Amino acid sequence: MELPQLSSEEFDALLREVCFLLRRERAEGRCGALRFEGGLVKLPSSGSLIVIGDLHGDWESFEFILRKSGVGLEEPLSKDLYLLFLGDYVDRGLHSVEVLQAILMLKKHNPGNVALLRGNHEGPKDLPASPKDLPY
């Protein structure tokens, strides 16, 4: 799977667009048919769900999951397929930026079908993760 090369400005624009989507979801308490209630994600009664957690910058594993699931980065998902990311997208692996870019692209192209939860590696400043190697 080929990941498009983005300039820093394009990456920043992608990040800002997805941040806008996430803020709207938080205010509305939903992501498409997925509902957020009291820290829980409530699923629709029909459809398929792929749960992806703790990638930690492991591009090869992420690419394998997408390929086996028939998911493309810039292709729309079927309307009854949902991706639920459990967080810990970055740190430890060599490809944190690539994994983050791919997740942002999936969210941008499928805003109602891709839900992004925060893991402890994306936590607030008062919850430090170790190792925290993304800045390097």
Catalytic residue among 56, 95, 109, 121: 121
- Rounded Cα distance between 54 and 42, Å, is 21
Q: Which residues contact 124 (CB under 8 A, 6 or more apart)?
A: none
Active site residue 121: yes
**CA distances in angstroms from 68 to 62, 65, 71, 112, 126, listed in the order given:** 10, 5, 8, 21, 37
Positions annotated as catalytic residues are 121
